[in-house]
Chains A and B, each alone.
Chain A
Amino acid sequence: MKTSSDGIYGWMKSGLGAFVAEPCLGYGGEELCPRRLGAFCSPAPDEADFCGVSELQSCVWNCCYGRFCIVVAEFKMNYLYGAFGSPCTVSIDFVDAETRKQASVKKENGQTVLVPLFLGQDSVVGEVRIDPVPGKKVEHTGVKIELLGQIELYFDRGNFYDFTSLVRELDVPGEILERKTYPFEFSTVEMQYESYNGVNVRLRYILKVTISRSYATNIVEYKDFWVRNYSPQPEINNSIKMEVGIEDCLHIEFEYSKSKYHLKDVIVGKIYFLLVRIKIKHMELEIRRRESTGSGPNTYNESETLAKYEIMDGAPVRGESIPIRLFLSPYDLTPTYRNINNKFSVKYYLNLVLVDEEDRRYFKQQEITMYRAE
C-alpha cells in the first residue's frame, strides 16, 4: 500500500489532514496517562464518601502517587482530632435542598453519587448549623463561610487554584454553647466554569465553613456542589463534510450533519464510498475526548475513547453509502471547554476508523463542539 507522503491526500482544497494508516497497537500513539501510575492505590476504600469529613480520604485514590503521602498525613491529623473528640458538629444545608436538582457524579471507583446542582447565576443560599457536643463549648475567634471555585491539577502536587473565592463572616469571636444556625447567602454568584472531573484535572465548587480558634486548630467543614452552565443554541452550525482517501486505494466522502452537538444530541451522517480497493472488514465511529492541562512545556494531553460505535460490517463497494446515527445520550460527555482559566481545556473529536482485513486501521479525526443545551 502506498503510504508515502505524496500518496496520501486529505481534503485537497482545505489542506486539512489526511487519513492516517497505522498498525493496530491498541490505541496506537496514545501516551500513557501519568495518572495511571496511581492505579496501584486502588482498590479505593469503599466507605470513602465524596463529601463530608472523609472527603480528603477520597483524594487518596483520586490523586497521584506523590500526593498520597500528604493526604494520609492530613487524614491522620483529623483522626487525632477525633481522638480528642471534636467539640461540635458542623453541617451545611441548602435552603432548597429538597427541591433542588441533583447531578449524578461518577466517582473514580465507579460509583455515582448525587450532588446538589447549581447553574452559573444561581444564588447559593442555606444555613450553617453548629451543634456543640453537649457539655462542651466552642470558643472561637470568628466563623466564616467561603464559596470557592477550585481547579486542581493532579500533576501539580495537589495545588489548588482558586478562581472564585467569596467570604461571608457568620459570627464575631465568641463562644457557642448550644446549637446555633447561621443563614448565609451568596446571591447571583458568577460561577462561569462548570464542575468537571477529568483525568488530570478537576474543577470543583465547595462551600467551606471555618471556625477559627486561637489556640487550637480551626474546625473546617466542606460541602461540595455541582455547577453546570447552559449554552445557547449555536447560531452557526455547519455540517462537517470531507473527502479523504489514499490515492488509488480508498476514497470516501463523509458528512456529519452538524459540527456542534448538545449532550443528548444525535450524530447523523453518511459515508459515501467513492473508491474501494482495499478489503475493509468494518468501520466504526469513535468519540474521543482530549484533555489538555498545563501550558508551555508542561502541557499534558490525555485522550480517551468514550464511545466505539460500529457503523458498518463487511466491505462496501463503490457507490455505497452507509448511514450514521449515533445517540450521544448514553455517553458521559461534557461540553467542550476551551482554555478554562488558562489551566486546561477539554475537546471532543469524532474519529472515523476503517479496519481492513489485515487489521490495518485508517482513520480520520474531526473535532466537534459539545455544548450543554437547556
Chain B
Amino acid sequence: MVRFDALDLQQDMRTFDELRQLETFFKEETKRGRTNADLYELVQHSGNILPRLYLLITVGSVYIKSQEAPAKDILKDLVEMSRGVQQPIRGLFLRSYLSQISRDKLPDVGSPYEGEGGNVMDAVEFVLQNFTEMNKLWVRMQHQGPAREKEKREKERSELRDLVGKNLHVLSQLDGVDLEMYKDVVLPRVLEQIVNCKDEIAQYYLMDCIIQVFPDDFHLQTLETLLSACPQLQPTVDIKTVMSQLMERLSRYAAASPEVLPEFLQVEAFTKFSHAVVEVIEAQPDMALVGAVSLYVALLTFVLRVHVDRLDYVDQVLGGCVKKLEGKGKVKDVKATKQLVALLSAPLEKYKDVVTILKLSNYGKVMEHLDYDTNRVMAVVLMQSILANNTLITAPEKVDGLFDLLKELIQDSEGAPSIDELDEEDFKEEQNLVARLVHMLVNDDNEQMFQILIAARKQFGQGGPKRLPFTLPPLVFAALKLVRSLQNEDLPDDGPVSLKKVFQFLHQTVEALSVVPAPELALRLYLQCAEAAGVCNLEPVAYEFFTQAFMIYEEEIADSKAQVTALQLIIGTLQRTRVFGVENRDTLTHKATGYSAKLLKKPDQCRAVYACSHLFWVEEGSGVKDGERVLLCLKRALRIANAAQQMSSATRGSNGPMTLFVEILNKYLYYFEKGNTQVTSTIIQGLLELIVTEIQSENTTQDMQVDAFLANTLRYIQFQKHKGDSVAERYSDIKVPS
C-alpha cells in the first residue's frame, strides 16, 4: 500500500506538505471501502518507528475528521504513542507535526468535534501534554553531541523554540479556555513545566511566550501565580526582562483601557509586583546589580503609568531599591548607574515637578548611591527641570530637602574629588544653575521667605570658598528683595522677621564672602546692602555696611585697577545714600576723598577726585550742596591733571593728551549749569582757553578723540548759549575760542 521506508523524513517543513498529500491519499482510501479504524491499525504494522508515527498521525487526522471515533481518544493515543521518539530533534518535529495537524481538530467549545469527541478539557490536556513533552525534548537537545559544539547547538535550539511556543499559542486560541480554566489548569501546568525543566533558554523563552500570547486580563487575574514562578527560575535566567515585559504589558493595558484600573487595585497588582521583585532579587543572589535596579525601573514605570497618583507607591519602589543598595556604597558599575539614573529620571519626567519629587523620602537615598559624577549630572537634571518647568519652591523644609538632593553641587562631600580636579567650565555652569535656582525659592509670606533664605544660606555655607562667590550673591539679592517688601511694613524687631534681622542676615552672608576671600564681590554686595539700608532709613546699619566696604577696600583690594572700580562704586553709592547725618557723612566722604587722592596713577587720581565732587553736591531732595568743596575738588583735579601732564613730558618728552582737562571742563560746566555759584564763567573761560592753547601747542600729543571730545563740548556750549533760557544767559559770558 505505502512504502513506509520510502518516506523521506527530513527535518524539514516541506515534509509536512508531502504528508498532506498522504492524508489525501488516506481519505481516498476510505472511500474505497477501508474503514478508518483499519487504516489506523494498518499503518501501525510498519516496523520503523518514525515513519510509523508520521503515518499514524496522518491517518489519525483523517480518522478524527471522519468523526467515526471520538477525537479525544485519538488525540490521546497519538500524543502518547509519540513518546516513542526520544531523539530530540526528530521528536520535536514529529510532535510539531502532531500539533499542526491537530490544531483544527481539537474538541474545543464550538468545534464540531466537541461532545462525543470530548470537551475543551480534553483539548487542553492534549495540548499541554504535547507541550510538556516537546519542551522536554527541546531542553534535552543541549546534551546531544560533543561539548565543543555547544554554542552551535544552543543556536539551533533557539531556532527551534517556536515549535515549542506554538503549543502555548494554540492554547491561547482555544475558545473554551476561559479565565477560570486558565487559572486552574493551563497556567499552573505550564508553569510547572517551565520551572521543572531547569533550563535557562527554555525558561526565559517560555515565560516570555506566556506573557505574549495570553490576554492581559488573564495576566492581571493570575498575577500572583505567574509572579510566584519567577523566583523559582534558574538563577541565570534573565528574569528582569521577563518581568519588565509583563509590567510593560500590563501598564499598557491600563493605559489603553482606563476602565480596568479598579481591577488593578482589586488584585493589588502593585503589591504583588513589588513582592515578586524582592523575591526574585533574593532568589538570584548572583544577579548583577544592574538587573536588580532595572527591575525597580520597570516596577517604577509600571507605577507611574498605572498608579500615577500614588506617590507612596513610587516612594516604596525607591525604598526597595535603597534596601537593595544598602551597604554597597557608591555604585561603580556603569550599567547599573545608568539604570539608577533612569530610576531617578522617571518620576521627574512624569511629574515634571520637583516639589513632588521632594515628597519621596527615598529619592535622595537612591541618589546617594550614585557615583560623584553621575550624582552631579542628576542634580543638574533636577535643577534644569525646576528651571524649565518654573517650579517654585515655597517651603523652608522643601529647601532643605532639595538641597539635600543637590548636595554634591553645594558642598564637598566625603569621597568627592577635590574641586581643583573638576572641569572649571562644568563647575561654573553647575554653580550658575545653583545660583539661578535661588530665584525659584519664593514665598509671598515674608516670614516664610526669610526662613527659606536662612535654610538656603545654611546649605550654601558649607560650599567652600570656590562655591560661595557663585551661590551667595543671588541669596543676597533675594534677601534685598525681601527687604523691599518688608520696608513698608512695620514689624517689631524681635518678631520672626524684621528688617533688622534681614540686614543681620545680609551682613553675615556678605561677611562670609569677604572671608573667602572675594573682596571685590563682597565690596559690591556691602554697598548694595548699604544702599538698601539707606533706603530703609537705617543709618547705623548703612554706616556699618560702608565701614565694612571701606575696610575691604583698605585691606583687601590692592590691585590698582580694582581700586579704581571699587572707589567709583563707593563714591556712587555714597552719593546716593542720603540717610546719613552730617557727621557720619563727613567721615565717609572724607574717607572716600582721601582714598581718591591716594590712587596710584595720576589720571585715576584725577578722575576719582573730580568724581568726589559729587559727594558734596546732591541734586535730588534736600541734598547737600556745598559749592565750595565742590570747587575745591575740581581745582584739585586740575592740579593733578597738570601734574600728570608734567610727568608725561618728563618721561616721554611730550605732554599727554588733554583728555583729563576736557573731562574736568565738563564737570565745571555741569556744576555751572546746576547753579553752583562758586563755579563762575571766568573760571570756565580760563580753563577753556588753557585747553585750546595746550591742544594747539606743539608739545602736546595730538589725539583725534580728544579733539572730537573738545569739539563736542564746545558745540554744547554754543548750543546752551542759544537756548534762550536762564542757563543761556549765564553762558553768554563764556566765549568759545575758535
| A residues less than 8 Å from B91 (CB atoms) | 313-314
Contact with B along A309-334 (1 / 0, CB 8 A): 11111111100111101010110000
A2 located at the interface, meaning its Cβ lies under 8 Å from any Cβ of chain B in the complex? no
Question: Roughly how many angstroms separate A312 CA and B90 CA in the complex, as a whole number?
Answer: 12
**Nearest CB in chain B to that of A282: its residue:** B49
Docked-complex contact B84 and A322, CB < 8 angstroms: yes
B48 located at the interface, meaning its Cβ lies under 8 Å from any Cβ of chain A in the complex? yes
| A residues less than 8 Å from B47 (CB atoms) | 307-310
Question: Roughly how many angstroms separate A319 CA and B41 CA in the complex, as a whole number?
Answer: 28
Docked-complex contact B90 and A313, CB < 8 angstroms: yes
B657 located at the interface, meaning its Cβ lies under 8 Å from any Cβ of chain A in the complex? no
| A residues less than 8 Å from B136 (CB atoms) | 317
Docked-complex contact A323 and B84, CB < 8 angstroms: yes
Docked-complex contact B44 and A322, CB < 8 angstroms: no
Question: Roughly how many angstroms separate A312 CA and B81 CA in the complex, as a whole number?
Answer: 10
Docked-complex contact A327 and B41, CB < 8 angstroms: yes
| Closest chain A CB from B56 CB (angstroms) | 10
Question: Roughly how many angstroms separate A314 CA and B83 CA in the complex, as a whole number?
Answer: 11
B50 located at the interface, meaning its Cβ lies under 8 Å from any Cβ of chain A in the complex? yes
- A residues contacting the other copy or chain, number (CB 8 A): 20
| B residues less than 8 Å from A322 (CB atoms) | 83-84, 86
- Secondary structure type dominating chain B contacts: helix
Question: Roughly how many angstroms separate A308 CA and B91 CA in the complex, as a whole number?
Answer: 21
| B residues less than 8 Å from A282 (CB atoms) | 49
| B residues less than 8 Å from A329 (CB atoms) | 45
| B residues less than 8 Å from A313 (CB atoms) | 49-50, 84-87, 90-91
Quick one: which of A308, A314, A327 contacts B45, CB cutoff 8 A?
A327
Question: Roughly how many angstroms separate A325 CA and B41 CA in the complex, as a whole number?
Answer: 10
| Closest chain A CB from B192 CB (angstroms) | 15
Tell me which residues from 50 to 98 in chain B have a Cβ below 8 Å from any Cβ of chain A: 50, 52, 80-81, 83-88, 90-91
Interchain Cβ contacts within 8 Å, total number: 52
| B residues less than 8 Å from A320 (CB atoms) | 83, 86
Question: Roughly how many angstroms separate A323 CA and B88 CA in the complex, as a whole number?
Answer: 17
Question: Roughly how many angstroms separate A313 CA and B91 CA in the complex, as a whole number?
Answer: 9
B103 located at the interface, meaning its Cβ lies under 8 Å from any Cβ of chain A in the complex? no
| A residues less than 8 Å from B80 (CB atoms) | 323
Docked-complex contact A315 and B84, CB < 8 angstroms: no
Question: Roughly how many angstroms separate A321 CA and B84 CA in the complex, as a whole number?
Answer: 9
Quick one: which of A307, A314, A325 contacts B87, CB cutoff 8 A?
A314
| Closest chain B CB from A257 CB (angstroms) | 15
Docked-complex contact A315 and B86, CB < 8 angstroms: yes
Question: Roughly how many angstroms separate A314 CA and B47 CA in the complex, as a whole number?
Answer: 16
Docked-complex contact B86 and A327, CB < 8 angstroms: no
Quick one: which of A311, A315, A316, A327 contacts B49, CB cutoff 8 A?
A311
| Closest chain B CB from A253 CB (angstroms) | 15
| Closest chain A CB from B2 CB (angstroms) | 14
Closest CB pairs A-B (n = 6): A314-B87, A314-B86, A310-B49, A330-B45, A316-B86, A313-B85
Binding site for A on B (CB under 8 A): 41, 44-45, 47-50, 52, 80-81, 83-88, 90-91, 136, 140
Binding site for B on A (CB under 8 A): 282, 307-317, 320-323, 325, 327, 329-330
Beyond A310-B84, A312-B49, 19 additional pairs, beta carbon < 8 A:
A282-B49, A307-B47, A310-B47, A311-B49, A312-B85, A312-B86, A313-B85, A313-B87, A313-B90, A313-B91, A314-B88, A317-B136, A320-B86, A321-B83, A322-B86, A323-B84, A325-B81, A327-B41, A327-B45
